[in-house]
Amino acid sequence: EVDASKSSASCNADDAWLGVRGRPGVLKGAYQYEVELKNECLLRVGWAALEGRRALGTDERSFGYGGTGMKSNCGKFEKYGEIFEAQTGAVVTCLLDRQDPRRSSISYCLNGRNLGVAFRLPPWLADVPLFPAICGREDWQATCRFRDLTFPHGGFWSLEDANRCDVAEDGGAASAAAAVFAAAPFVEERELK
């Protein structure tokens, strides 16, 4: 469920990974957004193409960093960063650097501490917009900030201030719209990992 302000999301599910996807999608430039845990939950945060699954990081078009201290892409999970599972108030900053198509990367910060580069994006994704995304298991609540960030990272713009020519609203042509979260498109009824 996404609240009326389009900046908070929550879910109550039995043993399922369910998520939401935001907009706009980033095609170029360097942008950031934050996710704050509002309850003791297990979340995975990051970036995904529209065609990506709701269970972030389980396909080749989505990239996630989870509360268990693991990064994931293509269903491959590797140790990365620090554990933030069940840490109410923890803030994860999601950084996407697409300034150079040959060196595009995704990084994360936890409570303002830079955790380093998690992913180098493959060249074939250069023309695919990546959208902010979160998913969680069972009962979770999170607030997403696209401006007025708690821990802004230098060299990255907040997603709310995205340059029109750097973004796509729905995977197609760019448009000027506020950064918001909405329920992710339906892919499968239950995606467990």
Q: What is the pLDDT of residues 47-76, one digit of tens each?
A: 999 988 888 999 999 999 999 999 999 999
Secondary structure in 3-state letters for the chain: CECCCCCEEEECCCCCEEEEEEECEECCEEEEEEEEECCCCEEEEEEECCCCCCCCCCCCCEEEEECCCEEEECCEEEECCCCCCCCCCCEEEEEEEECCCCCCEEEEEECCEEEEEEEECCHHHCCCCEEEEEEEECCEEEEEECCCCCCCCCCCEEHHHCCHHHEECCCCCCCCCCCEEEECCCCCCCECC
Give pTM, 2 decimals: 0.85
pLDDT higher than threshold 60 for residue 174: no
